[in-house]
Amino acid sequence: MEKKIHNFFQSGLLEKYILDEITTSDSLKVEHYIDTYPEVESEYLRLQNNLEILAKADAKEAPKFILDNILDEVEKTSIPVIKMETSRRRTPWYSIAASVVALLFAGTAFMMYQQNQELLRENQVVVEEVFDLRKDIDNNNEKLDDVMRQFMKLNNPETEKYVLRGNSRAKNLKTVAYINAVEKTSMIDVVSLPQLDKDQFYEVFAKMEEDLVSLGILDPSEKKMQSLKYMKDALGLSIRIGSKKGNETNAIDDEEVAEIELKTKNN
């Protein structure tokens, strides 16, 4: 029904009816809509009210003698005066024009509001992208700084390089350890590690005078340089396969898969 009423308003028949520029059949149709639909009747009354306001604004008071002459003529004639019903007609064109202008202004304002909202959303997207880009740049700078620090450590004349190769239990194992006794740093580069069972892992130990000290567990998924604990008096390095037993891990009793002796100046 709302669509039907909307189509009726869009047809312009109501305005033509007010202006008395309508055919008889269309006039009957308009009067049917006015009597049937409250929305149409409300719009018709609004237009009629505008007509009356404008008519009163432009009206001029007639001379008093005209009314007296009309009454004298009425009394002389024998023909009864028929009271005419108020016609549902006529709204001046400028009232309709004002209504159309108001509708156009409202539509334009709404379109501008939508465009403004869209611009605000696009601006927010750009701000978020710039923020993400700055964050990525900061992360890349941190990674670059980390790489530069590692590079400087590796190229330090005091840094000793040790290659640990796997024995028969881990033939494809290859790691490179970098130890700097002056700066007391220890790092290891995992070149390749044979795959282990889920409950097993590789652990690096420092060989001391009387026992072994764990320097850390190797992460096979970590492709960059991994830091190890520095041990001042270490005699050598040993890589062993450990196993998890409940919440505990143990690698000391397992057979080592790679080992190397350290140079005297690192002890």
Q: Where are the domains of the chain?
A: 2-91, 159-266
Query: Could you tell me the pLDDT band of residue 65, with boundaries at 50, 70 and 90?
Result: low
Element counts in the chain: helices (H) and strands (E): 6, 9
Closest to 235 (Cα-Cα) out of 203, 265, 262? 262
Strand, coil or helix: 173: coil
What is the chain's mean pLDDT, rounded? 77
- For residues 157 and 74, which has the higher predicted lDDT (pLDDT)? 157
Q: Is the pLDDT of residue 267 over 50?
A: no
Please say if the pLDDT value at position 14 is more than 50: yes
Q: CATH class for domain 159-266?
A: mainly beta
The pLDDT of residue 266 is above 50: no
- H-helix or E-strand containing 135? helix 93-154
As a whole number, mean pLDDT of residues 120-142 equals 81
**Dihedrals phi, psi of 206, to nearest 5 degrees:** -100, 130
What SS3 class is residue 254?
coil
pTM (global) more than 0.75: no
Higher-confidence residue of 105 and 115: namely 115
Residue 205: pLDDT above 90? yes
Residue 55 has pLDDT above 70, yes or no: no
**Higher confidence at residue 237 or residue 12?**
237
The amino acid that residue 265 corresponds to is K
Q: Summarize the confidence of residues 65-81 as an average pLDDT.
A: 62
Token digits for 214? 């764990």
Residue 153 has pLDDT above 70, yes or no: no
pLDDT band at 240 (very low <50, low <70, confident <90, very high): very high
Measure CA 128 to chain center.
9
Confidence of residue 237 (pLDDT cuts 50, 70, 90): very high
- Kindly tell me if the per-residue pLDDT of 118 is higher than 90: no
